[in-house]
Amino acid sequence: MSTLDTTSGSVPQTARLTSGLGPKSSSRAIKDRAATVVMWLAFLIAMVPLVWILATVVMKGGSLLLHADWWTHSQQGITNREEGGGAAHAIQGTLIQAAMTALIAVPIGVLTAVYLVEYGGGRFKRVVSFMVDILTGVPSIVAALFVYAVWITTLGFDRMAFAVCLALVLLMVPVVVRSTEEMLKLVPNELREASYALGVPKWKTITKVVLPTAFSGIVTGVLLGLARVMGETAPLLILAPYFRSISTNLFDGLMGTLPTMINAGRDNMAIEANSERVWASACTLIVLILVLNLLGRLISRFNKLDR
Amino acid sequence: MAKRIDVSDLNVYYGDFKAVEGVSMTVEPRSVTAFIGPSGCGKSTFLRTLNRMHEVIPGGRVEGKVMLDDQDLYAADVDPVGVRRTVGMVFQRPNPFPTMSIRDNVVAGLRLNGVKSKKALDEVAEKSLRGANLWNEVKDRLDKPGAGLSGGQQQRLCIARAIAVEPQVLLMDEPCSALDPISTLAIEDLINQLKETYTIVIVTHNMQQAARVSDRTAFFNLAETGKPGRLIEMDDTATIFNNPNEKATEDYISGRFG
Ligand SMILES: Nc1ncnc2c1ncn2[C@@H]1O[C@H](COP(=O)(O)OP(=O)(O)OP(=O)(O)O)[C@@H](O)[C@H]1O
Ligand SMILES: [Mg+2]
């Protein structure tokens, strides 16, 4: 920035614009250059940790992902010191829990957003909107403890993976509500009016015109929400501890997941076999979320052309 | 098919603000009626009360009576959704549904109301597109998105969409204001054809257009901003343009306004 001062510092600036045509003013060119450089620097600085993390994770654990065993076997009967086994149990667990969470959270979130944008008015709408704001700020550990208090302490159920889903729902709903709300607000009012003017009732206008128009945006929001909850660890630790074998029953005891698999191995990072597994689990989690995002983009593109 | 509209002593409100006051008029079937008047005098507002689109706006309400033949549109047992099926509307800016193909746009009113038969829908799509003078231009790309057409084509697509549900009355709010002269001419021709079958009401800021397409003309005005708009006079178009009763009408038409 100091280069700027030297050009304008000595000459007193008059409040008159140099007129019309002529060569580009040199001080403006320098400012332009400086701003460009600053923006590039900011961009690079923001990229550094991202690239660093990705590179570390891939270098230390990526190779395991190339073995078929990683995707098909669990850690049943394999100790921390041994090599071998896979993450199938954890991958399945993470996907099953994410699917169940989405199954509950998406309808609630989307319908709440539809209420807020299309129907709500007055005090009740403001209350709902405020609640969603509060929910957005709830830390995952609080959501987990809340579910623990209700599900286990009050209702007397056992710890099970489904309780994790309930906690994750609490975290995902506000994300879905807010993103869907934004997307619905972007749908021009003219489209709603065009539909009404054809004698289409309001609910059909919403389901057949408004929601399809906002579809790709809603999908993106859902995937962002999903990506957030798939990496959550606190609810898993509290409500469904790590399990080394394949277990697909949400309602029965333990279930392995990628975050808890990472957590379970973190104490023995000095052991080569174990630390590689931990890095590979992290890498798998990143890959899963990436695939999920790509899938979402694909779905939304396909949808736009099709209708 | 076409129906007569009888409005008596209509007041239209946005919340507490009275936008239009004391309008009474008759719109003849199978004719074109033009609404003219300065900006903000309530033409759009009044037009939207004729198919109960006004009440879609929060706070929008209406006092008075609108009769469609012998049916009171605002009677307690009348469903506004049904009213809008009977009285169609074309908006100022073309607004095709972006997620739908050209064909689906045209038949949207039927499809969204539960008509499933592909054959029937295809027939309606062709008939309506022909009716809107658009068939030849789009017949080879019915499955392409409606938003990919030019502005003038989009507006005719919206007209096709409106007549696909076979309304009795067609309301048009400045349908040509976003279009070039050639597209405008195409739509004016279309209006001339459509009036054989429909009752048409059109809002326009274009005096020549009102003179060209309409049989009767209604002039709206407002005393000053913040005051409600009123119907000043309504008569045969020739009379309004050549020999109006009111001085305000004459001033407005000859451009000596305000
Ligand atoms: N949604 C709304 N809420 C509140 N007031 C409105 C709304 N729409 C219009 N008005 C007011 O109602 C009055 C009439 O507006 P209207 O749009 O009917 O005028 P217009 O004659 O169609 O004007 P233009 O020729 O510019 O389209 C204006 O004073 C306007 O500010
Ligand atoms: Mg208007």
Q: Is B112's CB within 8 Å of A209's CB?
A: yes
Residue A257: which CATH number?
1.10.3720.10
> Both tokens of residue B82?
């049904």
Question: Which residue reads 């539809």 in tokens?
Answer: A114
Q: Which of A45, A65, A85 is the last residue of a domain?
A: A65
- Mutation test of ligand 1: which of B13, B21, B44, B173 has the most ligand atoms closer than 8 Å to its C-beta? B44
Ligand approaching nearest to the C-alpha of B43: 1
Is B113 touching A (CB cutoff 8 A)? yes
- pLDDT for A302 equals 65
Is A301 touching B (CB cutoff 8 A)? no
Residues A28 and A112 in one domain: no
* pLDDT greater at residue A304 or residue A138: A138
Section B229-258 average pLDDT: 87
Residues A75 and A214 in one domain: yes
- Mutation test of ligand 1: which of B43, B54, B174 has the most ligand atoms closer than 8 Å to its C-beta? B43
Phi and psi at residue B254, to the nearest 5°: -85, 5
The reply to whether ligand 1 has any atom less than 6 angstroms from the CB of B156 is no
Ligand approaching nearest to the C-alpha of B45: 1
> Both tokens of residue B194?
């459509």
Q: Is B53's CB within 8 Å of A193's CB?
A: yes
Share of chain B above pLDDT 90, in %: 73
- pLDDT for A295 equals 81
- pLDDT for A20 equals 66
Q: Is B85's CB within 8 Å of A199's CB?
A: yes
| Bridge pairing between strands B199-203 and B32-36 | parallel
Section B191-208 average pLDDT: 92
DSSP line for A22-75? SSPPHHHHHHHHHHHHHHHHHHHHHHHHHHHHHHHHHHHHGGGGGSHHHHH---
Smallest Cα–Cα separation from B63: which of B224, B228, B216? B228
Residues A28 and A117 in one domain: no
CA–CA distance, B193 with B102 (Å, rounded to integer): 22
- pLDDT for A80 equals 78
The reply to whether ligand 1 has any atom less than 6 angstroms from the CB of B19 is yes
Smallest Cα–Cα separation from A26: which of A42, A40, A11? A11
Q: Atom 9 (ligand 1): residue with closest C-alpha?
A: B45
The answer to whether the beta carbons of residues A173 and A105 sit under 8 Å apart is: yes
Is B82 touching A (CB cutoff 8 A)? yes
pLDDT in tens, B96-146: 999 999 999 999 999 999 898 999 999 999 999 998 889 999 999 999 998
Residues A25 and A113 in one domain: no
Q: Is B53's CB within 8 Å of A307's CB?
A: no
- Residue numbers of the domain that contains A203: 67-306
Residues A28 and A82 in one domain: no
- Please determine, for residue A306, whether its predicted confidence score (pLDDT) is greater than 50: no
Ligand approaching nearest to the C-alpha of B206: 1
- pLDDT for A13 equals 58
CA–CA distance, B198 with A34 (Å, rounded to integer): 65
Section A145-158 average pLDDT: 92
Name the pLDDT band for A39 (thresholds 50, 70, 90).
very high
Ligand approaching nearest to the C-alpha of B173: 2
Residues A170 and A202 in one domain: yes
User: Mean pLDDT of all residues in chain A?
Assistant: 87
Number of domains in chain A: 2
Residues A170 and A52 in one domain: no
Share of chain B above pLDDT 70, in %: 98
Q: Which residues surround ligand 2, an ion (CB under 5 A)?
A: B 44
Q: Is B97's CB within 8 Å of A198's CB?
A: no
Question: Which residue reads 């231009």 in tokens?
Answer: B137
Q: Which of A193, A199, A213 sits opposite B91 (nearest CB)?
A: A193
CB under 8 Å, gap of 24 or more: what pairs does B232-238 form? B232/B37, B234/B25, B237/B34, B237/B210, B237/B211
Residues A57 and A124 in one domain: no
- Please determine, for residue B229, whether its predicted confidence score (pLDDT) is greater than 70: yes
- Least confident range from A121-130, A246-255, B12-21: namely A246-255
- pLDDT for A14 equals 62
Residues A90 and A46 in one domain: no
Rounded to a whole number of angstroms, the distance from the CA of B164 to the nearest CA of chain A is: 9
Residues A177 and A285 in one domain: yes
pLDDT in tens, A1-29: 444 444 444 555 566 666 667 666 788 88
Beta bridge partners of B10: B23
Name the pLDDT band for B223 (thresholds 50, 70, 90).
confident
Section A264-284 average pLDDT: 89
Residues A209 and A270 in one domain: yes
The reply to whether ligand 1 has any atom less than 6 angstroms from the CB of B45 is yes
Q: Which of B58, B88, B113 sits opposite A197 (nearest CB)?
A: B88
- Least confident range from A1-10, B60-69, B168-177, B212-221: namely A1-10
Beta strands in chain B (DSSP E): 5-14, 17-27, 32-36, 60-68, 71-72, 87-90, 169-173, 199-203, 216-222, 229-236
Section B63-81 average pLDDT: 92
Section B178-189 average pLDDT: 86
The reply to whether ligand 1 has any atom less than 6 angstroms from the CB of B22 is no
Atom of ligand 1 nearest to the CA of B174: 27
- pLDDT for B257 equals 57
pLDDT in tens, B6-19: 999 999 999 999 99
What is the interface pTM, i.e. ipTM, of the complex?
Answer: 0.91
Chain A residues with CB inside 8 Å of B113's CB? 199-200, 204
Q: Which of A33, A49, A65 is the last residue of a domain?
A: A65
Domains of chain B, first to last: 5-99+171-253 (3.40.50.300)
B54 alpha-carbon distance from chain centroid: 13
All residues at 6 or more sequence positions from B160 whose CB lies less than 8 Å from its CB, including other chains: B106, B128, B129, B131, B132, B134
Chain A residues with CB inside 8 Å of B99's CB? 209, 212-213, 215, 303-304, 307
Q: Return the residue of B nearest to A212 by Cα.
A: B99
Atom of ligand 1 nearest to the CA of B57: 1
pLDDT in tens, A72-126: 888 888 887 788 888 899 999 999 999 999 999 999 999 999 999 999 888 999 9
Chain A residues with CB inside 8 Å of B84's CB? 196-199
Is A216 touching B (CB cutoff 8 A)? no
- pLDDT for A84 equals 81
Q: Return the residue of A nearest to B158 by Cα.
A: A194
Q: Atom 28 (ligand 1): residue with closest C-alpha?
A: B40
- Please determine, for residue A300, whether its predicted confidence score (pLDDT) is greater than 80: no
Q: Which of A11, A46, A65 is the last residue of a domain?
A: A65
- pLDDT for B178 equals 80
Torsion of CA B140, B143, B145, B151, to 10 degrees: 30
Residues A13 and A146 in one domain: no
* pLDDT greater at residue A217 or residue A103: A103
Q: Is A208's CB within 8 Å of B112's CB?
A: yes
- pLDDT for A303 equals 56
Is A213 touching B (CB cutoff 8 A)? yes
All residues at 6 or more sequence positions from A253 whose CB lies less than 8 Å from its CB, including other chains: A158, A159, A160, A240, A243, A247
The answer to whether the beta carbons of residues A262 and A93 sit under 8 Å apart is: no
Smallest Cα–Cα separation from A102: which of A243, A222, A265, A277? A222
Q: Is A307's CB within 8 Å of B104's CB?
A: yes
- Please determine, for residue B77, whether its predicted confidence score (pLDDT) is greater than 70: yes
The reply to whether ligand 1 has any atom less than 6 angstroms from the CB of B159 is no
- Least confident range from A41-55, A224-238, B103-117: namely A224-238
